[in-house]
Amino acid sequence: MISGVFRRRLWAPVGVLTSLAYLVHQRRVALAEMQGAHGQHPVDRSLLELKMVQVVFRHGARSPLKPLPQEEQVEWNVRLLEVPPQTQFDYTVTDLTGGPKPYSPLDSQYQKTVLKGGMFAGQLTKVGMWQMFALGERLKKSYVEDIPFLSPTFNPQEVFVRSTNIYRNLESTRCLLAGLFPHQKEGPIIIHTDEASSEVLYPNFHNCCSLRKRIRGRRQAASLQPGISEDLKKVKEGLGIASSDEVDFIVLLDNMAAEQAHGLLSFPTLARFTQLIEQRAVDTVLYMQSDDRESLQLVVGPFLHLLENNLLRAVDPANPAGKTRKLYLYAVHDTTLMPLLMALGIFDHKWPPFAVDVTLELYQHQESKEWFVQLYYHGEEQVPRGCPDRLCPLDKFLNTMSVYTLNPEKYHTLCSQAQVMELRNAE
């Protein structure tokens, strides 16, 4: 979970955006015509060739972001920060254009909270490092060993890596890469990141005025909703937390998940409320984001646009073979994954755990030349909304994404609407 951010920056010139929108439209029309011509028929999977993989993953286990207001605090000893030798992997962080690493206001905020034992809030631990290393090993088995899709050494021409500019995510990415590419690298390991003001790998509440206005007060209001309110009172009483303390189910879950991942327990009674806390935390987020399409668009639409563009570039015949990257890695947060799962129609109403991943595989049929998408969550095959089967025709998958996708121009227009209204009202 994250918070944060400030100024606004346009992502691309309007002319580029218009051209890109036209390309998106043309590719969807072509794909739909192709699908209509061929019709739905059983697909011989032996004739499918893997063309591209996109992996969206949450960081590994970390310390809590906000400790519970209790006299007896869990000790977050700095020994938990020891780096396992196997996860060592040199990397450089740049902005999206290859310039210097941007300043991270969120890391500065986290360092203001020092937990008992000496750790800061939100720090990746060695438990989390091992989780991410294991995810990298799983990807290595799938895309290096089981099928020779990726080179066994890191190749920047094959792999693009992007992370939010938060240290636990950068370090999580390091550990994943160490598990995926344990051999000597072929080129510089660059992790790309963006300014907090224009980040789209998490819901940018501070930079999007319309989103901020929609969410304003809804987290506090969620705790007052029937059912949630009674359950919160029961849990706080069971844990000895005063009713006046600003602790909701999201804060409770954050501490509980962090403690459980490290075999720590502040209160024995906390385990008794595990399922209730998780479910009510999910209910709180669902209430905050409400049910309307535009709210979900503002939360995850720009990131869906990135994923969609990668797919469209891969299938564009104008792109020379071998010029499109094979693997895209995105280090995100639980606040990214939940709306992403909702948009794809595969949300299981459970909080995304540490080191969980959503993986999109793009295939082309070697005879018909049709394109298909295979979707995984936590390593399990999924059937996205609007898809007839787990192997989804690309045009149907793009239609599912298009409901919530926002290009940069549309995103900034929607985000600024509330600000324009506020300025007019102030006149």
Active centre residues (catalytic): 59, 334
CA dist 156 and 187 (Å) reads 6
H helices of 266-407, in order, are 274-289, 293-315, 334-344, 394-402
Helix (H, G, I), strand (E, B) or coil at 399: helix
Chain-centre distance for alpha carbon 164: 9
Give the angle 177-179-185 at the CA atoms, nearest 5°: 55
Strand pairing class (92-95; 190-193) = parallel
Residue 116 dihedral angles phi and psi, to the nearest 5°: -60, 130
**Token pair for residue 372?**
């298909």
Q: Are 237 and 231 in contact (CB under 8 A)?
A: no
Amino acid at 245: D
Tokens for 114? Answer: 């020092």
Q: Give the torsion sign (CA, 69, 73, 78, 79).
A: negative
DSSP state of 347: -
Give start and end residues of each alpha helix (H) in 217-273. 218-222, 228-239, 249-261
Task: Give the bridge partners for 92, in sequence order.
Answer: 190
φ/ψ region of 225 (left if φ > 0, alpha if ψ in -120 to 50, else beta) reads beta
Do the Cβ atoms of 96 and 281 come closer than 8 Å?
no
16, two tokens:
């580029």
